Chain A
């Protein structure tokens, strides 16, 4: 119940295209859903996050769509660029919980071809 399932495992997109990564969770106590971007040899960097009281959040080319009833959320990268090539992790946490720790998805390796 603590798992966060992420798909696809890898994704190849042409420059200018839309990259879509999906995540699903089981624990209804989760109330914070961030996305992290990680480049090789670096730590993850917070990209964008959403709480379950909204269905969509947009920051620049990055949008999170959230479906509370389906317990799913997704990251959309519009106008994908080669510089977006990285590994993306979704995560979830229960911010009111005792430890408030992040549960990470398995990651998606995105390659944007020029």
Chain B
């Protein structure tokens, strides 16, 4: 149980294009999902907290107009990297916390999306 599916697993695109990444909780509902960025051999850096039906909360230094987050249902959150440039190349990982409303349940992670901007 507690499976989080992330799609696509890998994307390569030209500079200037926008890329959408989907994060789905397959067998549970999740009011709250999280988006992380991970550089090679480094830890996970939280970008934003996504709450179903409301605006995402972005961490300091993360451009909200650059990284658009939509959490339209209890099982789906999307991250759109707008007008992507080579410096946006990274490994993006989502997680979902089980439960609706305020929850103390653990976060379950997707398998990440390797984004490469040429």
Contact = CB atoms under 8 A, between A and B. Distances in A.
B109 A45 contact: yes
B43 A99 contact: no
Contacts of A109: 41
Contacts of B6: 43
Contact of B109 (A44, A95, A106): A44
Interface string B18-33: 0000000000000010
B54 interface: no
B37 to A, nearest CB: 12
B46 interface: yes
Interface in B28-56: 32, 34, 41-44, 46, 49
Given A41-B111, A43-B93, A45-B109, 14 more contacts: A36-B109, A42-B112, A43-B95, A43-B109, A44-B93, A44-B109, A49-B106, A99-B57, A100-B102, A100-B103, A100-B104, A101-B46, A104-B44, A106-B43
Interface of B: 4, 6, 32, 34, 41-44, 46, 49, 57, 93, 95, 97, 102-104, 106-112, 114
